[in-house]
């Protein structure tokens, strides 16, 4: 993949554009800089900010919400919390508007540097719904356009279509009752609205069909941001529904003028593996595809798979981490990573267990997004003063882990698979001393014919190494840690945890690739 656009040639950017758990992307261009933000639900820090200048290489430069007070997600339900941020820029200020679903509601954060710090956030009263967009009309009045889905109260689940209000951003209140706008072609869940001005038209673009296989993008236009809007006859003009394309669930997009001089849409999609029933280990990722304008209507190219070639690798040795602080890529659940893990005097990362386990809403766990379909995570730990290990997690009900406890004579390693109310454990005794634990997600076994091996996303190998010997404790079906099975909006997050005592980790190694 190359970013060089010659003579107006459109560039095919990599796909996934931002791999791993990165749904609901929103993008803004400021000069030659591009910024994308995505949803984080019950995880903290919230709302990663990715930056690029060529639209090919993306680097996480920070997170919008690094402090619990900004979000208040400590008690949010699984899959609730931070839904669908929109990022915009005006007069030197970056704005991120977002819903804390089943929580604080609609909030606007501001920053002059998108790397942060971001403001504490202003709650906008009078917006009952999700997926807020922020735009300004020709007079400079702020408009919030949102999806009128109730997530709390007696009418939870009721949908009132796409709505809009004029708002006073500083005062944090709507200036009128929500007005109903064009709401798509009648597919379920009209959501993710974004409002744009292009040429003579104002465009209202939305997602509809739900975030699963029926997902799509529709658009309408008019001469005013207040409507009325006329729907495009090709709606939904982008969808992978009922196709066998490798990238499914495509929808929830945001438009941007790319460095090649054209328009693109960044959007969420999934990469399910398996025939007929297929499962997406990584959850909803960020993709991109090009848009051509024909008669001032958008024509979208199918979202094609164009993974970056080669291997993605990193080796975090905590001892060598600059400033002894965790980087922006670490996530914790309903708490800040700094509450979970601390550096000791020897530069190891220590997690102190409090009796909670990965089944609990606030486990002592910190992790990172799994970035590739084939991915191996490993850590070396000292479990002489506690019990802990490595885990691959979707939510409280869906996780695979390896947990070590070292006594004077030996180390006991337990591999565990938790799938809804079912738990299975495998254990082994190894020589006492440091132990290396590995979670290795490998492609599904090729099976001759139409067998169960063709119906899954991957195999997850749970392995322990001590005294120079590696044992595979369990070889488990990856489909149970997928977006389809966990019914979660998130994706696989893999990391370190402790259940009791002090567990000291030397590092985290990752090696991933696309098969």
Binding site for ligand 6LW (CB under 6 A): 23-24, 39, 83-84, 130-131, 189, 191-192, 207, 210-211, 252, 489
Catalytic entry in 42, 191, 396, 397: 191
Query: In the bound complex, what is the minimum distance in angstroms from residue 180's beta carbon to ligand 6LW?
Result: 18
The rounded distance, in Å, linking the Cα atoms of 441 and 459 is 6
Ramachandran angles phi, psi of 326, nearest 5°: -75, 140
Written as six digits, the tokens of 286 are 């960020």
Closer of 283 and 363 to ligand 6LW (Cβ) = 283
Token pair for 5: 């656009």
Per the structure block, which two tokens stand in for 271? 């990469």
Judged by beta carbon, residue 100 or residue 192, the one nearer ligand 6LW is 192
Q: Are strands 191-198 and 201-208 parallel, antiparallel or unpaired?
A: antiparallel
Closer CB to ligand 6LW, 210 or 434, in the complex: 210
Element (H, E) at 337: helix 337-340
Question: Which region, left, alpha or beta, applies to residue 102 given φ > 0 means left and ψ of -120 to 50 means alpha?
Answer: left
Active site residue 322: no
DSSP E strand boundaries for 19-158? 26-30, 33-37, 43-44, 46-52, 59-65, 81-90, 93-101, 105-111, 122-123, 130-136, 142-149
- What is the smallest separation between the CB atom of 24 and ligand 6LW, expressed in angstroms? 5
Dig out the tokens for 118 from the structure. Answer: 């971001």
Q: How far is the CB of 147 from ligand 6LW (least distance, A)?
A: 7
**Minimal distance in Å, beta carbon 82 to ligand 6LW?**
9
* Distance of alpha carbon 445 from alpha carbon 443, whole angstroms: 6
Tell me the closest approach of the beta carbon of residue 23 to ligand 6LW, in angstroms.
5
Say how many C-beta atoms besides its own lie within 10 A of residue 337's C-beta: 23
> Closest-CB residue for ligand 6LW?
211
| Closest approach of ligand 6LW to the CB of residue 210, in Å | 6
- C-beta atoms surrounding 260 within 10 Å: 20
- Annotated active-site residue in 24, 133, 440, 458: 24
- Closer residue to ligand 6LW in complex, CB, 211/379: 211
Nearer to ligand 6LW, 210 or 453 (CB): 210
β-strand partners of 418: 399, 423
Is 191 one of the catalytic residues? Answer: yes
Phi, psi at 338, each rounded to 5°: -65, -20
Which of 7, 53, 13, 92 is closest to 286 using CA atoms?
13
Report, as residue numbers or ranges, the catalytic residues.
Answer: 24, 191
């Amino acid at each position: 993949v190359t970013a060089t656009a010659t003579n107006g040639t459109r560039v095919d950017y990599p796909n996934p554009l931002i791999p791993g758990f990165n749904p609901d992307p929103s993008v803004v261009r400021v000069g030659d800089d591009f910024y994308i933000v995505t949803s984080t639900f019950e995880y903290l820090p919230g709302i990663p900010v990715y930056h690029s200048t060529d639209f090919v290489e993306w680097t996480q430069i920070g997170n919008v919400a690094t402090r619990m007070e900004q979000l208040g997600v400590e008690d949010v339900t699984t899959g609730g919390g931070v839904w669908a941020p929109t990022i915009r820029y005006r007069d030197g200020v970056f704005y991120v508007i977002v819903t804390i679903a089943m929580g604080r509601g609609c909030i606007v954060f501001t920053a002059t540097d998108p790397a942060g710090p971001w403001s504490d956030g202003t709650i906008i009263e009078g917006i009952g719904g999700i997926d807020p967009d922020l735009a300004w009309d020709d007079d400079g009045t702020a408009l919030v356009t949102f999806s009128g889905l109730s997530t709390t109260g007696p009418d939870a689940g009721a949908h009132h279509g796409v709505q809009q209000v004029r708002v006073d951003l500083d005062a944090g209140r709507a200036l009128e009752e929500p007005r109903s706008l064009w709401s798509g072609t009648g597919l379920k869940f009209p959501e993710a609205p974004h409002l744009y001005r292009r040429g003579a038209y104002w465009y209202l673009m939305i997602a509809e069909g739900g975030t699963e296989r029926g997902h799509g993008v529709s658009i309408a236009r008019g001469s005013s941001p207040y409507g009325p809007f006329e729907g495009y006859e090709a709606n939904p003009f982008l969808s992978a529904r009922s196709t066998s394309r490798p990238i499914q669930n495509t929808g929830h997009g945001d438009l941007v003028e790319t460095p090649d001089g054209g328009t693109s849409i960044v959007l969420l999609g999934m990469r399910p593996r398996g025939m007929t029933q297929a499962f997406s280990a990584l959850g909803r990722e960020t993709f991109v595809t090009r848009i051509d304008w024909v008669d001032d209507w958008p024509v979208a190219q199918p979202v094609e798979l164009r993974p970056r070639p080669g291997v993605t690798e990193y080796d975090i040795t905590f001892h060598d981490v600059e400033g002894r602080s965790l980087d922006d890529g670490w996530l914790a659940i309903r708490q800040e990573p700094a509450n979970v893990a601390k550096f000791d005097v020897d530069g190891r990362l220590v997690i102190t267990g409090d009796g909670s386990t990965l089944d609990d809403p606030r486990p002592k766990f910190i992790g990172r997004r799994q970035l590739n379909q084939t991915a191996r995570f490993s850590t070396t730990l000292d479990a002489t003063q506690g019990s802990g290990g490595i885990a691959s997690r979707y939510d409280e009900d869906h996780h695979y882990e390896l947990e070590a406890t070292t006594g004077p004579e030996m180390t006991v390693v337990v591999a565990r698979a938790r799938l809804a109310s079912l738990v299975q454990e495998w254990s082994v005794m190894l020589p006492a001393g440091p132990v290396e634990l590995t979670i290795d997600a490998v492609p599904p076994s090729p099976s001759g014919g139409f067998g169960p091996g063709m119906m899954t996303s991957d195999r997850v190998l749970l392995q322990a190494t001590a005294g120079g010997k590696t044992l595979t404790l369990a070889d488990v079906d990856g489909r149970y840690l997928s977006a389809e099975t966990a019914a979660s909006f998130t994706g696989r997050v893999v990391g370190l945890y402790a259940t009791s005592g002090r567990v000291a980790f030397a590092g985290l190694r990752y090696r991933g690739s696309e098969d």
